[in-house]
Each structure stands twice: as structure tokens, then as C-alpha cells.
Structure 1
Amino acid sequence: MPASCLRFPFLILAIVMACASLSARAQETPSAFLSDLHSFRISNYLALDAYYRFSGTGTTDTLNEIVAGINSANDAMNRLTQSTDEVLSKDQLSALSQEFEKFKGLMRDNINDVRTQGYPDLRLVSDMANQALAMNNMATELYLEAQESSQTQTNPRVEAARMAAVKMAQMMAKYAVRTNSSVSQTFQGSATETPLDAQAREFDALLEQVRQGPAEGELRALLDDISSKWQFIRGSYINYNENNVGFVIDRYSKAILSSLGSAIELLQNSH
């Protein structure tokens, strides 16, 4: 599949709305830089989650979700590299961009395998999983450095909500591996990652941090909705078994991500 294929027009899915909500930006300020870096991390996890499902189904809808995630991450990366805020150095952003290019190349190769052979090459999937882990670790380190910059101001509840969103996106991708027989044999990097049940408990703590503080009207409704949906799927993340309905977990997780994105916007606008 040519590189240009990752930019073709596609059916607008619910996942696109989650990405758009999470990447919503304020004016051109250093705080928008953090927002773009956050969107970059989330979008890549969404693309990875969609790929693991695509590897088992090969459907156009899941391919469109991969494209949406990659395009969203690409847009965020472009804004970061074109930023004049100098929150991070050009060398740091160039290094992250290079890691992203490697990830996109591996994603294209893996998509091509499924489309031409009907099944994934597990070695190549492993390479992509390792690259995603390295890239997202770098993005997280850069986010923390940008967060500490004197140019940025952070709201503790916004940061907790962003961390919760990243945690949810990580869990989605890992859950998709475990529920997809075609790639369940391989998930390199898992030995160095926090187990799924522990990640779920970390999400508990982050959500509690977001809920601590004033919440009225739309924000209260969003946080209550997030909590309700999380309680519905929490047990599936903590006590995984093959009888769980993967598409339900995926749908609720995406809804939580979208609501977290909306909550972040409200929390930012209230300060």
C-alpha cells in the first residue's frame, strides 16, 4: 500500500470524533503544545488498537479507524514541528518525528500483509509493537519535560484527565491483542509494561483525581457518565477472559476517551 493511501478520504466514524475531541486546541500558546503532544500519543494508540482488530477482521471500517488515528497523529506531529513556542528543542521534535515515520512505515507494511495475504506476519507485528512502545515512551518523556517548562501552565485535574486518557488508550490496544487470535501470540514489550489489571487500577486512581474538585452542569454529567461506563467494563480489564465481548469493551472505552476529551476542554476553559 503506497504511503499516500494513509491520507485517502474515508467514512467518518465515531473514532474520528474521539480523536478530534482529544486534539481540540486553544489559541497558539504553549498549553496548546501540550495538547498536541497529548493528541499525538492518544491517536497512535487508537491506530494500534484498530490495527489489532483489523488483523483479525480485515474490514474496511477497521482500516478506516487506523487511517483516522494515523492522520490525527500526523496532524498533531506537524503542528508540533511547526510550533514557534520553543517548549522543546527542534532536535527533540525531530527525533520524535523520525520515530513516528518508522511507526507509520511498519503500520503500512502490516496493513499490506493483511490485505494481500489475509493474515498478519507476526514478526512484523512484533516489530511494530516494539516501535510503538519506543515511540510512545519517547513522547511521554518529552511530554513530562514540556510540562515542566516555565512556558507552560498546567491544571492538575487536566493533567490527571490526560493521563487517564492515555491509560485508557493503552489498555484498549493491549486488550485488542488479547482478544484477537491472529496476533495474540505476540505482543513484544508486554514484559516491560504494566499488566492490564494493574493499569485498570491506575485508571481508577487517575479518575478519582479528576473527580476531586468542583464539577457542575455538563462537567458533572460527563464525569458521572465516565464513571458509569468505566464500572461497566472495569471487571473485563481486571479479570480478563475469552468470554468477554470485545466490541462492547472497545465501544465503551472509546466513549470514555471521547468524554475525557470533552471534560479536558471544560476544565481548561474554567481556568
Structure 2
Amino acid sequence: MIHSGRWTRASLMALFACALMLSPLISRAAENPLLSSLYDFRISNFEALNAYYQFSVNGSTETLNDIVASINASNAEMNSISEKASGLLNDDQVARLNQDFDKFKDLMRQNINDVRQNGYPDLRLVSDMANQAVTLSRTSAEMYDIVRTSESVTTDKRVEAARAAAVLMAQMMSKYSARSTSSVSQTFQGADTEEPLDEQAKQFDALMSEVTAGHPSGELHQTLSSVASKWGFIRSSYVNYNENNVSFVIDRYSKGILEELNQAIELMIGNDRAAATANASAG
């Protein structure tokens, strides 16, 4: 019995040591939290811009709440970025991102107040906000790339393609809303590039080809199939963006694509963790 007890203690110690050896491998395969926050930050900012363009037309409380929710989400992610930046982003980089975000929020607040007080937007202020959205988008993309390419950060090609596709869809969605809004259609079109929507649609096609590489199965396959179905329904509207289309349908399906891309990203990250654990255990 004494021998058995000693064996049990030794086994537990061995298992504990094994767990310590495995944990770095699992950690490296797991999602980098700073990348995740930067990604969510980028999406939320475009969602706020998209909601504003709609609010400038309908002035509804529901749409205003959508803006507030997106800005609050961006605030939370900005705080998270500041907390997680150590070793990957320096203080000046975080400060620049925070400054650009504060300017965007201030202009958003002014533009919301204009619509609420006057019933229509001030096109000069809308243009100022649009230009600041460009600056914020470029800065956040730059910070994302700095973290992504860091030697201490491991990324997954399909996850990165899915995130790039989601950011692109958020850009396209906000641009389409701007084009569909007669009061602001002559100003900024809601994206951080000058590329027309039809070219962006082709880029989205290419990114989704990367995401679906390797013949995914199970729940991931179902989720990506649903994305493909929704995209197939609205793709022609993005390609032929000068034609008259039902904008609220495009908006609803675009948001559905964003939601399901996020689900796919979570599934892929979960699959990577499981694979890393299995491989480490086998080794």
C-alpha cells in the first residue's frame, strides 16, 4: 500500500510537470488577446459609422442606440488594448490610437447632436468625421499589423483571412450606407480606401477562398456555408452599387455575414487550441 501511495504521488508530480510543459505550447496556439481586442475595436468603429449614416436619415432612437452600443464596445476594447499592450505596443503607439479614437468620438457626438437638434446633418462636420474615421482606421490597422508580425505572436492563416474579410465587410457595409443616404452621399463613403465597392467585393471573394481552404467540416463548414449563402444574395448589389437596391436588406445581410464570420473565427481558434493540445499530448 505504501508503494502504491508513493507511485500515486509520483504520478501526480509527473502529470503536473507534463502540464507545465504543455501549457506554453497551448498558449502559443491560443489567440493573442491584444490582436483580438484590436480586431474588435476596428469592427465596432465601422459599425458605429454605419449606424450614424442611417441615423442621419431616420433619426430613430433604435438607430441611435446602435451607435451608442458600438461606441461603448470600442471604448471597452480601447481600455483593453491599453491594458494588454505591454511588450507589443509602446506607450506612444497606444496614445496615438487613443487620441485618434477620442477625436472620432467627439466628432460623432457633434454629428449626432446636429441631427437631433436640426433634423439633418451638417455636411462639413460629417466630412470631418469621415476623414477622422480614415485616420482611425489606418492607425488601428497599423497597430494590428505591428502586433500580428511580432516574433512573440503566433497567428493562423485562416483566422487572419477571416478577420480581414470581416473588417472589409464592415467597411463595405458603411460605404454602402453612405451611398444610400442622400444627405451624405457626396461626402466620405464610409471606407478607409478609395477602392470602389466592386473591387472590394472581389477582395472579399479572395479572402473567403482562403478562409474555406482545407475543406472545413462540421459546425465550421455550416457557418461558412451560411456566410457564402448570404454573400451570394447581396454580392451583385455591392458589385453594381450604382443601381437602386433595398439598402436595409443589404445592411441586414452584411451584419449577418459579420456575425457568422465572428462565429467562424471562434470555431477556428477553438479547433487550433484542441489540435495544439492533442499534438502536445501525443508528443
User: How far apart, CA to CA, are the structure 1 residues paired with 2:101 and 2:86?
Assistant: 21
User: How far apart, CA to CA, are the structure 2 residues paired with 1:248 and 1:135?
Assistant: 28
Alignment of 1:88-107 (within 5 A): 88-107=89-108
Letter in 1 for 2:169: M
Q: For the Cα contact (< 8 Å) 1:30–1:87, is it kept in 2? A: no
Q: CA deviation at 1:186?
A: 1.2
Q: CA deviation at 1:214?
A: 3.9
User: How far apart, CA to CA, are the structure 1 residues paired with 2:123 and 2:76?
Assistant: 29
The Cα offsets for residues 40-72 of structure 1, whole Å up to 9 and x where unpaired, read as: 000000000000000011001110110111011
The Cα offsets for residues 141-182 of structure 1, whole Å up to 9 and x where unpaired, read as: 111111011121100000000000000000001000000111
Q: CA deviation at 1:86?
A: 2.0
Question: Which residue in the other structure is 1:8 paired with?
Answer: none
84 and 166 in structure 1: CA distance in 2 versus 1, 3 angstrom threshold: closer
Q: For the Cα contact (< 8 Å) 2:176–2:190, is it kept in 1? A: no
Question: Which residue in the other structure is 2:180 paired with?
Answer: 179
User: How far apart, CA to CA, are the structure 2 residues paired with 1:86 and 1:30?
Assistant: 16
Please say if 1:64 is aligned against 2:65.
Answer: yes
Letter in 2 for 1:167: L
Question: Which residue in the other structure is 1:55 paired with?
Answer: 56
Question: Which residue in the other structure is 2:201 paired with?
Answer: 200
Q: CA deviation at 1:190?
A: 6.9
Please say if 1:37 is aligned against 2:66.
Answer: no
Letter in 2 for 1:101: D
Letter in 2 for 1:102: K
Sequence identity (%)? 56
Letter in 2 for 1:38: Y
Letter in 2 for 1:86: G
Question: Which residue in the other structure is 1:115 paired with?
Answer: 116
Question: Which residue in the other structure is 2:74 paired with?
Answer: 73
Q: For the Cα contact (< 8 Å) 2:237–2:243, is it kept in 1? A: no
Please say if 1:86 is aligned against 2:87.
Answer: yes
Q: For the Cα contact (< 8 Å) 1:30–1:85, is it kept in 2? A: no
30 and 164 in structure 1: CA distance in 2 versus 1, 3 angstrom threshold: closer
User: How far apart, CA to CA, are the structure 1 residues paired with 2:190 and 2:258?
Assistant: 23
The Cα offsets for residues 92-131 of structure 1, whole Å up to 9 and x where unpaired, read as: 0111000000000000000000000000000000000000
Letter in 2 for 1:181: S
216 and 32 in structure 1: CA distance in 2 versus 1, 3 angstrom threshold: same
Q: CA deviation at 1:242?
A: 4.8
Q: For the Cα contact (< 8 Å) 1:161–1:206, is it kept in 2? A: yes
* Higher relative helix content: 2
User: How far apart, CA to CA, are the structure 2 residues paired with 1:160 and 1:177?
Assistant: 26
The Cα offsets for residues 161-213 of structure 1, whole Å up to 9 and x where unpaired, read as: 00000000000010000001111121178795211110111000001100002
Q: CA deviation at 1:241?
A: 3.4
SS at match of 1:270: helix
Q: Give the paired residue count.
A: 245
Q: For the Cα contact (< 8 Å) 1:164–1:206, is it kept in 2? A: yes
Structure 1 unmatched ranges of 5 or more:
1-25
Letter in 2 for 1:265: E
User: How far apart, CA to CA, are the structure 2 residues paired with 1:254 and 1:83?
Assistant: 28
Q: For the Cα contact (< 8 Å) 2:130–2:190, is it kept in 1? A: yes
Question: Which residue in the other structure is 2:20 paired with?
Answer: none
User: How far apart, CA to CA, are the structure 2 residues paired with 1:190 and 1:81?
Assistant: 25
47 and 84 in structure 1: CA distance in 2 versus 1, 3 angstrom threshold: closer
User: How far apart, CA to CA, are the structure 2 residues paired with 1:84 and 1:221?
Assistant: 35
User: How far apart, CA to CA, are the structure 1 residues paired with 2:260 and 2:70?
Assistant: 17
Q: CA deviation at 1:82?
A: 1.4
User: How far apart, CA to CA, are the structure 1 residues paired with 2:85 and 2:107?
Assistant: 30
